[in-house]
Each structure stands twice: as structure tokens, then as C-alpha cells.
Amino acid sequence: MLLRRWTVAVIVAALAAVGGTWWNVRRLAAAELVSVRAASTAARAEREVRDADLAFFETRVAEDPASALDHARLAALYLQRARDTGDEQDYLHAERSARTALALRRRNNGDASAALTSALLSQHRFAEARDAARQLVADEPWVNAYHAILGETCLELGDYDCARTAFDAIDSRARRSLAVAPRLARWAEIRGDTVSARRILSDALAAAQQEPNMPREQLAWFHLRLADLFFRQGRDRGAERTLREGLAVHPNDPRLLAAMTRLAAAHHDWRAAVAFGDSTIAILPDPATLGVMSDAYAALGDSATAAEYVAAMEVAVGRQPGTYHRAWSLFLLDHGRRIPEVLDAAEAELRGGRRDVQGYDLLAWALYKSGRARDARAPMAAALAQGTQERATTCAARSPSRRRSTTRRRRSPAPRSIRSAPRPPTEVATCPSSSPSSSSASATSSPPARWTTSCFSSRSR
């Protein structure tokens, strides 16, 4: 399989040459090309500085392993590189450095605790992340960002009472900070307050753009978060505009390119999906994107290449930390493969303590695909319990009557397997009884505890 690494400018120019795409891609003007090149140069310079800092602190801790501050800083740098490159090993390095820092000094070492929580969340070790966040809040209860981190971990586990308590503890004056606001937006989403979620994220993005020292990869994350929200709410042109603005800041960002891949596939613009997907996986072999590529090639009639991408997706899933990959499970369900295996995994995850709306939604879909429509009603009701309200997927996307009522803004519903994961909650029609349900982010990825040091990762699991 030949994977090409295209620049953003080349991708957009190629799509413009094809013509006829739903977003009416235009050829880039010379000034725009200059802007893309300038942004690429700036992003490359930031990476060089980060890598130099990593080398410096690695040398420092080797020479003086008793410095808790140096180990904490090293953990934050590993997290930053992991977000930028997708290297799973860097999350393990970050965890190791953070634990070393905390072993050397527990008191007044919130940055190390925040980095540890981030590393654990990125590996989907949610219960451990919640425990670390609780200790973080106990150590420094006056830091509002730490309450937001605890709320985030509770959301991932589906412990919404815990999340409510954590978010309610945040001072009203701190709710607009970049370390807090995106987490509050996620909480608003889950509770069905999509208007507040959109306002909070728009304000956060505007504030992030005003920060002179904001790393470009983190600024790109704020674009991604708002674009994801637009996409899930059926505001596709807002999503596409926000993604392109993010790519102008951080060209070749694999998270943004992956989102463009899903957006194109949602409109069955398969050639555009292939173009953006090629660019994404040449940088980062994201399993969810590989699934979209398989669907795209299948739709284009190339079954052999589609099968290659399925095989590549399974390999990519196997190489990632953790034993349960939701994007892979959704792909299998959508294609009628290994349904008993997926059902067993979904039930085991709930028994293991992770009871978020996406987990219940996945279980409901697995039960329905197993021919147990009646049994799917209970998990669908659980998925709806928080009042989440978003565009239909899952059973609704496959219900002709429901589809007609939910495609006035989007010409066709996105296949379930191309949703980003941890998948955001989505409103669905219950297949057995035609009532809505919800299906993360992160949640999608979370904002940094202190945006200059650590940030949760956007994952596809």
C-alpha cells in the first residue's frame, strides 16, 4: 500500500482540480500558498525547539535524577510530542517521568500530577486517571483547573454525579479559562445544552488565538474541538471552515486532516475522503481513518484496496495501548463482522466500571446487530439519561424514516464507523421503539490543565 504524504496545499489543489465537491473547493491564491508555507515553517520551528528541549531535559535528568521539576517538565514535553506525532510510546514515557517526579516530591507538584492524569487518559486507563485527578484535587483544592480535570475523568467513566460535583466546585471567575472552558463545554454537550457548548468553545478558541505563546498544535486542538461540535450538530460548513482555519495555523496536523476525511466521507465524496485520508495516515496510522479509507475504496469499487485498509486498521488497533478500541468495534458492527466478539467486549467494559453514554450506545447497537432489538432498549435509555441531543447515527442512520428527517442539512448520514472516537454523544432513534438515544473527544481530547505544560490527547479509541 503506497501512502503519500501530501501538504495541505497539494491536497486542496488536487481537490480543486477534481471539482464538484460539496464544499466548492477553490484554487488557492498565491497569497494563501505563501501563508501555508509560512505556517509550515513556523510549526517546524516549534517542533525543533520542543525536540531540543526534550534532549536538554533528558540529559539533565540523566545527570541529576533527583530533580522533580525536571522530570515534570520532561513529562509535559513527552505529552506535547505525542499529541503532535501520535507516538504511543511517548505517553508511556510521560507517565514514567510524571511518576518519577511525584515519587521525588508530592507536595506542590501539581504539574506532575496533571501530566500523569493526561498520560493515563491518553492510554484509556480511566479509573487510574480519576484516582490521580482526585489526589490532585486533594493536594491543591484551590486550583480550579484541577477540578475540571477531575470532571473530565469522571465523564470518561460515565460517573456523571462525580462530574457534576467537580464542575460545580469551579469558581465562576475561572470558567472562561482555557484549562476549564472546553471541559465545561463537553459537560454542556452531554447534558444536551448544545447552545452553551458552542458558545463556550467559540469563546475559548478566540481566547486561545490571543495567547502569544500558544503552541500551534494546541491551537489546532481548539479548532478541532469546535469543528467536531459543529459536525455532530449538523453544521457541516461551520465544521469545514473551522478545520481549514486550523490547518492554516498548523498545516499537516493529522487530527485536522482526519476530521476532513470524516467530513468528506459523511457526504459520500469518496475521492476527497481518499485524498485527505492518504495525507492523514502518511503522518499517523489512525485506525478510525483507516476504516474510512476502507469504506471509501469499497464505495469506489476497489474491494481489494478496501480489504487492505481493513487489515491495516486491525494492525494499527493492536499496536495501541489498551485492549478495547471503540472505533474498531463500530467498524466491525457496521460491516456485520465478529458481532458476538464486539458484544462481549461492550458488556465487559460496562461491567468493568466505564458506563458513559457512548458505551451504552455501543452496547445497544451491538445488541441490535445481534438480533436482540428488545434487549437494546435498556442501554439506549441509559444513553439518553443525561439529555444528550445531537444528530442521528447508529440505528437512526439506518432507519429510512428517521433519515429523511435528519438529512435536511446533510445530504447523507455519516457511516457509524467514521465517527471520531472517543466518540461524542449523538442523538439516535431507537431501532426497536423509534425513540432517541445517544452514543466522544474526549470525550474528544481535553484542554491542557495549564495549557503551557500538558494537554489530553485526541484519541481514536
Rg (CA), the chain: 21
Q: What is the pTM of this model?
A: 0.77
* DSSP letter, residue 428: E
Q: Which domains does the chain have, with CATH numbers?
A: 8-438 (1.25.40.10)
What is the pLDDT confidence band of residue 36, given thresholds at 50, 70 and 90? low
Q: Which DSSP letter does residue 27 get?
A: P
C-alpha cell recorded at residue 333: 458492527
Q: Which of 178-182, 282-286, 316-320 has the lowest mean pLDDT?
A: 316-320
Confidence band, pLDDT 50/70/90 cuts, at residue 3: very low
- Split at pLDDT 50, 70, 90, the class of 321 is low
Which of 145-154, 367-376, 441-450 shows the lowest per-residue confidence on average (mean pLDDT)? Answer: 441-450
pLDDT tens digit sequence for 172-212: 989 999 999 999 999 999 999 999 999 999 999 999 999 98
| 355 — pLDDT class (breaks 50, 70, 90) | very high
Q: Which amino acid is at 217?
A: E
Higher pLDDT, 293 or 40: 293
86/58: higher pLDDT: 58
Q: Which string of b and e fits 348-370 if b means at least 16 CB within 10 Å?
A: ebbeeebbbbbbbbbbbbbbbbe
At 33 the pLDDT is 54
Q: What is the DSSP letter of 429?
A: E
Q: Which residue has the higher pLDDT, 416 or 102?
A: 102
pLDDT tens column, 257-272? 999 999 999 999 999 9
Q: Cell numbers for 441, please give them.
A: 473527544
For residue 80, report the phi and psi dihedrals to the nearest 5 degrees. Answer: -60, -45
